[in-house]
Amino acid sequence: MNTLSEKEKKLNLALNKLKNLNLQNPNFKDNLENLKNQKNQLEIEKKELQQKYQELVKDFNDLNIKLDRINNQKNEEKKKRN
């Protein structure tokens, strides 16, 4: 089992690596900006798809109501004939 001092050394090593990380790297900034742009685009597409889905659900429900009405009318006509 790791001793407390070994864990502390590992944590200090990790902290030093993080401190030495060069956040001024132009590739890092470009990649980060590209990821932000992609995220924004995906969020826009998600909203559009959600709206289309809601429209389709509404259309589906409307069509089901119409179909029920038509079926009810047919059933009533059959009853009248008999």
Q: pLDDT tens digits, residue range 18-36?
A: 777 766 677 877 888 899 9
The Cα–Cα gap between 42 and 36 comes to 10
- Report the residue count for the chain: 82
Residue 23's pLDDT is: 63
Q: Using alpha carbons, select from 58, 45, 79 the residue that is nearest to residue 71.
A: 79
Q: What pLDDT is stored for residue 64 in this prediction?
A: 98
* pLDDT one-digit tens code per residue, 3-20: 878 878 888 888 887 777
List, for residues 46-61, the tens digit of each pLDDT value.
999 999 999 999 999 9
